[in-house]
Structure formats: structure tokens, C-alpha cells
Chain A
């Protein structure tokens, strides 16, 4: 029995992991675009992006999942009617939501870099792109690692929300045993998966921060 449960949970966790990785792969770059948009000097774009950020940060992720998965179909345009539709609906909701959170972290990072660096760069005849990528980018990365790692660890746990649209991630896999075999422990057992994974991530970010801290000797 233990082996059966473990196999089912492993399978569920693979889906959790896939959702996590796809979300990061989508949200980290998209967040940067959104942050540029919300800092744009072109006013309409800035307002639109800030409104979008407000909508995604200001409403429950659970509700966003429901809306993204069910509303297209309710309007007779079910875009999720393919076999892994639930996964991609969940991934879309997570990517949009997390891109908005990441964008604000990026914006904070970018705006925290002293204006003098831009001026110095311009005086030296650098273009804006050169200033951003050659001067500011690595400083930005270093500053945003702690807040981003915080969000990423939250993401690990938030993936469990996807079981509300019947995505068979690890918690769903655990709960199944309550219904089919009357076993409760598999659900509680899933905590080990989360703790192991967030533990690894914590170690990784600790290492990354050290690697990036050029002030220490």
C-alpha cells in the first residue's frame, strides 16, 4: 500500500513541479515586460499595465483560476478543450498572477538604483540599453534575489490551488486515497514533498545570494 501511495504522490508531485517550472519560465520574463510597461513614460500604457497589475494582485488567485478556466467555455469559446487543458489554464492563471507580483519587485529594484548612474552613463556616451544591461542589470539581480525567492517559495505552495479546477497535483493525489480507500495519511504525507522542495530552494537562494554579494570578502 505504501508503495502505491508513494507512486501516486510522486506522479502528482511531477505535475506540481511542472506547473511550478512553467510558471517561473513564463512569469519571470513576462514580469520584466510588465514592469517596463508600468514604468513607461507613455501614459496610457502605464495606466493600462498598472490596472492589470492591480487586478491580478488585488483578487484571489483561486478566483482567477476559476475565471480563466471556466469563463471562456461559458461564453461558448472553450479554449481549454484539449487533453492537458486544465494544466495550461492553471499555468496561464499562475503566470499572469506571478508576473504581476514579479513586475512590482523588478520595478522596486530598478527604481532603487541611483539616478546618478544613468547620468554618468550618458555623460560617457552610453546608450540607454547599454546603461541598463551593462551597468544596472546585475545590481538589479542582486537586489531582487531576496524578495523574488520569497515569491518563488510562495509559488511552490500556491500550486496546490490548481486542484480546485481538478488538476491532479500532489494534494489531489493525496486526497484521492481518502475517497477511494478511506486512507487519511496520504494527504498529510504530501507535506514532506513541499518541505523537501522548499528546503532545496532555500539552500539554492542562500547560495545564490552569497555568490552575488560582491561586498563580502
Chain B
């Protein structure tokens, strides 16, 4: 019995190795656009991030989602949205689980060095979030220097507080950063202005929070695999959509028209 099982295991292992070796290598020489067109769909990596990408009646909508759908249509492919873990977006791209990250992504050095990025299309800022009852004392960045901050790991907000030399801890996402402030485990958080508009204040679980000073201004862009020719294609698409006014109209639908950058 044992010998039989031993043999069986050996066979399975050898078969497994051959199967790996035999798999056809994807031709790396093909352009990324050709790859997407051949596949027939553009897989867009997103997180749930109003007003850029969020769900309404089971459909993904938002400024980014709508523009992504329009871009996919211009390529003649289907647009598919996949929720990803924000920490591993570069890995999702490289491993071809997604074709682009289109989710209000701040163009930081890390992002531009690990992805082929489009031109910036939207302005944003990092803002400090504190409990509303103490907001008066912390109106500017200087007055917050003795507070402990909660920031999203790898976010622009983390870079901003690190540069100021303030005390901070990194948490999994912006929502967790807000929970830290709300539960008192941290004094303040730094999150995106666009997100702060949607997540704190009246009618949310964070009615007791408010945002005060802006730390840094920043710009959003779309990320593709390194070396992808889709970034250039998107720039052309943006320019055309900006020229004919469809981009501004889409921005207006989601209330981000003031943040839009001329293409």
C-alpha cells in the first residue's frame, strides 16, 4: 500500500513539473494593446471609492468607472471591473490579473516608477481629519504636530505626514484610518479630500469627524503595466474627450468638475 502511494505521489509530482514546463510562454513582444484587444476585454482594477468607482444597483459607476467604460468602448473591447487590494496593485498589474489601475490613483514616485501612467486628469489634496469637537484647535498642519496620525499604508497621506516628521501609524486603508480616529486609538488621520467628502460628516458612521487643513496637493492618473502602449492611447482618448466636452460632462455628473485637469 505505502509503496503504491509512494509511486503515485512520485508520478503526480513529475506530471506537475512537466505540466509547468510545457505551458506555452506568452509572447512578450506583443504590445499590451494588442494583448487587450485579442482578449476582448479591458480589466480595470478598482477599490470601492466614491465618487470615482462605486456601485449603484449592482453596476460600477463613478467618474473613473464611466471614463473607463468609454475608453474600453473606443478600443472596441468590453470593460470589466475587478476589486483589488490596494496594497498589491502593482502585483495585480504585473501578473496580468488586471490591465490597469483606474481608481483615483495619486501619481506618486512609487506609482510612476512601477507603472506606465497616463497624464494627470484630476486634482486632489490630502486633508487632516480630526474629531469635530476639537477641530478649532487643529486648523492648520503646524498645530497638529503633537498628534498621532493614522494613515493608509503606501498612500500619499502617509508620505505627507512622514515628510512633516509627525508621529503616525500605517493602517490597511483609508476607512481603517478613519476608524482609528473615531475610536480614539489615533488622534487624527490623513485621507483624500474627495474621499473625505463622501465618507465623513452627517449621515455616515463618522458624523463626529471633520476635515481641516490640506497638506499636499496631488494629481490623479491611470496606471498600466510598465512599458504598455495603452498609456499613450489613453492620453489621446483623454485629449479627445476633453476637447469635445464629454469628459467635463462626466465629471459634472459626479461633482468633480472643479478638480478636472485640462488635457
A163-197: which residues lie under 8 A (CB-CB) from chain B? Answer: 163-166, 168, 175-176, 178-185
* Chain B positions within 8 Å of A184 at CB level: 179, 182, 205
Q: Is B145's CB within 8 Å of the partner chain A? A: no
CB distance from B221 to the nearest CB of A (A): 21
* Chain A positions within 8 Å of B20 at CB level: 77
Does B95 lie within 8 Å of A72, measured CB to CB? yes
Q: Bound state CA distance, A165 and B26, in angstroms? A: 24
* Chain B positions within 8 Å of A66 at CB level: 88, 91
- Our pick among A70, A80, A129, A178 for the contact of B1 (Cβ within 8 Å) is A129
CB distance from B90 to the nearest CB of A (A): 10
Determine the residue in chain A with the shortest Cβ distance to B174.
Answer: A179
Given A76-B25, A81-B97: A181 in contact with B85 (beta carbons within 8 A): no
Does B6 lie within 8 Å of A78, measured CB to CB? no
Does A37 lie within 8 Å of B6, measured CB to CB? yes
* Chain A positions within 8 Å of B25 at CB level: 76-77
Binary A-proximity of B142-175 (CB < 8 A = 1, otherwise 0): 0000000000000000000000000000000111
- Of A39, A45, A129, most buried by chain B (CB within 10 Å of CB) is A45
- Of B1, B3, B25, B97, most buried by chain A (CB within 10 Å of CB) is B97
Q: Is A27's CB within 8 Å of the partner chain B? A: no
Does B97 lie within 8 Å of A45, measured CB to CB? no
Given A74-B91, A179-B175, A183-B204: A37 in contact with B83 (beta carbons within 8 A): no
Determine the residue in chain A with the shortest Cβ distance to B10.
Answer: A45
- Of A73, A85, A164, most buried by chain B (CB within 10 Å of CB) is A73
Does A37 lie within 8 Å of B200, measured CB to CB? no
Determine the residue in chain A with the shortest Cβ distance to B3.
Answer: A42
- Our pick among A33, A76, A78, A182 for the contact of B5 (Cβ within 8 Å) is A33
Does A78 lie within 8 Å of B204, measured CB to CB? no
Q: Is A115's CB within 8 Å of the partner chain B? A: no
Q: Is A49's CB within 8 Å of the partner chain B? A: yes
- Our pick among B2, B82, B95 for the contact of A74 (Cβ within 8 Å) is B95
CB distance from B186 to the nearest CB of A (A): 15
Does A179 lie within 8 Å of B95, measured CB to CB? no
B40-91: which residues lie under 8 A (CB-CB) from chain A? Answer: 47-50, 54-55, 82-85, 88, 91
Interface size class of B (residues with CB under 8 A): 35 or more
Q: Is A210's CB within 8 Å of the partner chain B? A: no
CB distance from A93 to the nearest CB of B (A): 15
Determine the residue in chain A with the shortest Cβ distance to B173.
Answer: A179
Q: Is B206's CB within 8 Å of the partner chain A? A: yes
Does A78 lie within 8 Å of B48, measured CB to CB? no
Q: Is A36's CB within 8 Å of the partner chain B? A: yes
Q: Is A41's CB within 8 Å of the partner chain B? A: yes
Determine the residue in chain A with the shortest Cβ distance to B45.
Answer: A166
* Chain B positions within 8 Å of A180 at CB level: 48, 50, 54-55
Q: Bound state CA distance, A111 and B132, in angstroms? A: 64
Binary A-proximity of B116-145 (CB < 8 A = 1, otherwise 0): 000000000000000000000000000000
* Chain A positions within 8 Å of B82 at CB level: 166
Q: Is B100's CB within 8 Å of the partner chain A? A: no
* Chain B positions within 8 Å of A76 at CB level: 25-26, 28, 96
Q: Bound state CA distance, A101 and B49, in angstroms? A: 39
Q: Is B199's CB within 8 Å of the partner chain A? A: yes
Q: Is A134's CB within 8 Å of the partner chain B? A: no
Q: Is B9's CB within 8 Å of the partner chain A? A: yes
Does A183 lie within 8 Å of B6, measured CB to CB? no
Question: Can you list 27 A-B contacts (CB < 8 A)?
Answer: A33-B5, A33-B9, A36-B1, A40-B2, A40-B5, A42-B6, A45-B9, A69-B95, A72-B95, A73-B95, A76-B26, A80-B97, A81-B97, A128-B2, A129-B1, A163-B85, A165-B85, A165-B88, A166-B84, A176-B48, A179-B49, A179-B173, A180-B50, A182-B175, A182-B178, A182-B204, A184-B182
B: which residues have CB within 8 A of A? 1-3, 5-6, 8-10, 13, 20, 23, 25-26, 28, 47-50, 54-55, 82-85, 88, 91-92, 94-97, 173-176, 178-179, 182, 198-200, 203-206
* New contact pairs (14) apart from A40-B2, A77-B25, A179-B174, CB-CB < 8 Å: A36-B6, A36-B9, A37-B6, A40-B5, A40-B6, A70-B94, A70-B95, A77-B23, A80-B97, A81-B96, A164-B88, A166-B83, A168-B83, A180-B55
A: which residues have CB within 8 A of B? 33, 36-37, 39-42, 45, 48-49, 66, 69-74, 76-78, 80-81, 85, 128-129, 132, 163-166, 168, 175-176, 178-185
